[in-house]
Amino acid sequence: DERDHDQFIKIVKAISVGFGGINLEDIGAPHCFKIERTLANELDIPVFHDDQHGTAIVSLAGLINAHRALCKNLKQARVVICGAGAAGLTIAELLHDYGVKNILVTDTHGIIYEGRDHMNEEKNRVARLINPKKIYGSLSDALYGANVFIGVSKGGIITKEMIKKMDIDPIVFAMANPEPEISPDDARAAGARIIATGRSDYPNQINNVLGFPGIFRGALDKGIKKFTSRMFISAAEALANCIIDPDIEKIIPDPFDMKAHEAVAKAISFM
């Protein structure tokens, strides 16, 4: 229940001697970035913030298969991410590392770019990486002609009209819980070709539980002390490859698919 971030870091460091790894959960942005980065740098065991990297890994796996299903190239996609917190910024960074070159992130004040009002250190850092031209505008502006929408924000903020502004056969990952940014039915009616959510009662659930168990199994088996972006990309690719023939209703394994967890563990341990 510790609320002071520096004290929290001290506590985790003090107890870390009894653990083989640290999985952080439910730490809000921007403090989560400092906490995870500090612990990862100062401890000799792997540190993983699931809300950041778990979401990013499973999202990337889903996007890889969504593009395979549509015979499209993810690295050439125009991606819009709504939500500039722990998940949104980390998804943007992992997609950039994967090779996606056209990424915009929006928050409640519009597209993020370095030096904009209502920014913090982490938003500025990611904005420098993905939006060096300082493209600006609203979420609706960002979606014009986009191929992919990724929502990690709040329910009901995307309209059918916004989806209709996107390119033909757009991919929509509306992952806010319990209410997605747009309902799958509305997204489909507006032209979305592939839809994923964070919920188990719709097809294509993007669930962090597909990531962290295998990631820690692989790290512990190999004695890995620091996670890298390359490891996360390898895990996402392994997860995607668990679906032999992805289609619009099946782009990601079931959370209880043990072979998927084993594939992730193997991908991490082979790095």
CATH number at residue 237: 3.40.50.10380
CA distance linking residue 53 with residue 48, whole number of Å: 7
Same-domain status, 218 and 127: no
Same-domain status, 111 and 213: no
Same-domain status, 185 and 263: no
Categorize the per-residue pLDDT at 114 as very low, low, confident or very high, splitting at 50, 70 and 90. Answer: very high
Q: How far is CA 122 from the centre of its chain?
A: 15
CA distance linking residue 250 with residue 206, whole number of Å: 11
Q: Burial letters for 146-179: b for 16+ Cβ neighbours within 10 Å, e otherwise?
A: bbbbbbbbeeebbeeebbebbeeebbbbbbbeee
Same-domain status, 79 and 193: yes
Same-domain status, 212 and 186: no
Same-domain status, 35 and 96: no
Each residue's pLDDT tens digit, 152-206: 999 999 999 999 999 999 999 999 999 999 999 999 999 999 999 999 999 999 9
Asked whether residue 116 is domain-assigned, the answer is yes
**Percentage of the chain with pLDDT > 90?**
96
Q: CA triplet 30, 112, 80: central angle to 5 degrees?
A: 105
Half-sphere exposure of 11 (CA within 13 A, CB side): 9
Same-domain status, 78 and 186: yes
| Long-range contacts of 134-143, Cβ-Cβ distance < 8 Å, separation of 24 or more | 135/104, 135/111, 136/110, 136/111, 137/110, 137/111, 138/106, 138/110, 138/111, 139/80, 139/82, 139/106, 139/110, 139/111, 140/165, 141/110, 141/111, 142/80, 142/104, 142/106, 142/110, 142/111, 143/80
Each residue's pLDDT tens digit, 42-54: 999 999 999 999 9
Same-domain status, 174 and 225: no
Asked whether residue 191 is domain-assigned, the answer is yes
pTM exceeds cut of 0.85: yes
CA distance linking residue 244 with residue 253, whole number of Å: 10
Domain span including residue 169: 74-197
Q: CA triplet 180, 70, 233: central angle to 5 degrees?
A: 70
Q: What is the pLDDT of residue 1?
A: 63
Structurally, how many domains does the chain consist of?
2
